[in-house]
Structure 1
Amino acid sequence: MQAEAQLAKSAILEVALQLAEKSSWDRIHLFDVAREMGVGLADIHRHFRNKDALAEAWFDLADAALLRLAQTPGWQQVPQKQRLQFAYSAWLDALAGHRRLTREMIGYRLQPEHVHLQVRGVLRISDTVQWIREVAMLPAAGWRREGAETVLTTIFLAVFARWLVDESPGTRKTQVLLGRLLVAADLGARLVAGLSLRSPASLRAFN
């Protein structure tokens, strides 16, 4: 039964995305989705309480792609800094098929009357960054962990903002920015912690 519900949710989301691609995210309505699928609004409501829940499901797919990285054979042997780069990239790549719509979803949430969506978005970012830490297997604890989370959140926001408008082939400019920010974060962590390049890897927030 749970599998059937998941399939229904996936089908609804896919129809919504396809319809929005023909116009815009702002113009799509749940009754459009229901009509396209030949079902009633109650059938949509059974899986999505409102339109923004569709956007949440879209970002859930990115989180799922991020989490799948942890199942990669030999993942623990990949250097931490590289794991971080892969983690950010996997999250973004999962959204690449509907980048314009992703940008419009963010714009919809940032409208002045959607304060409740903005609060939800902040919480969402916090959760995603937490999972980036877990997937990258960062060992920091205590104040080092809090500092690392602040840095990772800043990187996430900067890279995501760049990716939303990046028209370069393969979003190369976004990847370059991500690489530079991770290098800067690594250097900053070393300076703050007073670590040298030969310090034990288990004591580093990055690398």
Structure 2
Amino acid sequence: MSLGRARILDAALALAADRHWEALRLRDVAEELGVGLSDLHPCLGEKEDLVDWFWDRADAVMLSQCRGPDFDALEFSRRYETCVLAWLSVPLSHRRTFREMLYVRMEPGHLHIQLPTLLRVSRTVQWMREACGRRGTFLRRATEEVVLSSLFVSALADSLNDDSLGGQRSRDRLQRHIRWAVSAGRLWPTTPPRTPHSL
């Protein structure tokens, strides 16, 4: 029986739908898959790897959706908004479970997983900048990374606690925050939309 990341992660998410993420054990995942722990062991080092795999899935979905001439023709603010919403579509499909994943990671005393989580945010934002075609360097790049990371984290927190129809409230807030960042000069909206000749 072939075990891949997607199959293991899907089994874990299905089980977590009926319990708190903290209560899920790798033994449960193995039993759900009809294998032993020894079969899981070569695939992942610990339960926390499942959170990283889920994050990887969101990154992959975002990158697959945020490309092509229609996306490239958008103004930067709309490109970044599209990236964030595409990324959020993955955790929002398991909103309660993903919220519990983050709560466990952010608990006091979990410094060994808190820092990697912050680095994960930075890595995701870097991929979003690449998708959006940002080319700023040095101080401009650093400032933009801080602002975009803040926008991403704020949007993530809003969406995980948004019970409005279709998450419209958090979407509206994301749009307002991006507009504010642009108008305040914290982002540079002057990068022209990309065309096939400029790629």
Shared fold (TM-score, shorter chain, > 0.5): yes
The answer for the alignment partner of 1:65 in structure 2 is 61
4+ residue runs of structure 1 moved beyond 4 angstroms?
Answer: none
Q: Is the 8 A contact 2:66 2:82 kept in 1?
A: no
The answer for the alignment partner of 2:100 in structure 1 is 104
Match of 2:26 among 30, 48, 55: 30
* More RCO (CA 8 Å, sep 6+): 2
The answer for the alignment partner of 1:90 in structure 2 is 86
The answer for the alignment partner of 1:205 in structure 2 is none
SS of 2:45's partner is coil
Partner Cα distance (2:5, 2:134) in 1: 33
- Calculate the aligned-residue CA RMSD, in Å: 1.9
Which AA in structure 1 matches 2:143? Answer: G
Partner Cα distance (1:33, 1:126) in 2: 30
Q: What TM-score comes out, normalization by structure 2 length? A: 0.90
Q: Is the 8 A contact 2:5 2:43 kept in 1?
A: yes
The answer for the alignment partner of 1:167 in structure 2 is 163
The answer for the alignment partner of 2:196 in structure 1 is none
Match of 2:130 among 127, 134, 138: 134
Q: Is the 8 A contact 1:26 1:108 kept in 2?
A: yes
Which AA in structure 2 matches 1:189? Answer: G
Q: Is the 8 A contact 1:16 1:33 kept in 2?
A: yes
The answer for the alignment partner of 2:120 in structure 1 is 124
Partner Cα distance (1:177, 1:71) in 2: 24
SS of 1:112's partner is coil
Structure 2's unaligned 5+ residue stretches are: 193-199
Deviation by residue 1:77-108 (Cα, 9 ceiling, x = unmatched): 12211101100100001222100000000001
Which stretch of structure 1 is more off in the superposition, 11-20 or 181-190?
181-190
Q: Is the 8 A contact 1:30 1:41 kept in 2?
A: yes
Q: Is the 8 A contact 1:66 1:91 kept in 2?
A: yes
Which stretch of structure 1 is more off in the superposition, 94-103 or 137-146?
137-146
| Number of aligned positions between the proteins | 192
The answer for the alignment partner of 2:15 in structure 1 is 19
Deviation at 1:158, TM superposition (A): 1.0
The answer for the alignment partner of 2:39 in structure 1 is 43
Partner Cα distance (1:201, 1:40) in 2: 53
Deviation at 1:70, TM superposition (A): 3.9
SS of 1:166's partner is coil
Q: Is the 8 A contact 2:99 2:160 kept in 1?
A: yes
Q: How does 1:149-188 map onto structure 2 within 5 Å?
A: 149-188=145-184
SS of 1:184's partner is helix
Partner Cα distance (2:38, 2:109) in 1: 26
SS of 2:17's partner is helix
Q: Is the 8 A contact 1:69 1:135 kept in 2?
A: no
Partner Cα distance (1:26, 1:106) in 2: 11
Partner Cα distance (1:109, 1:126) in 2: 16
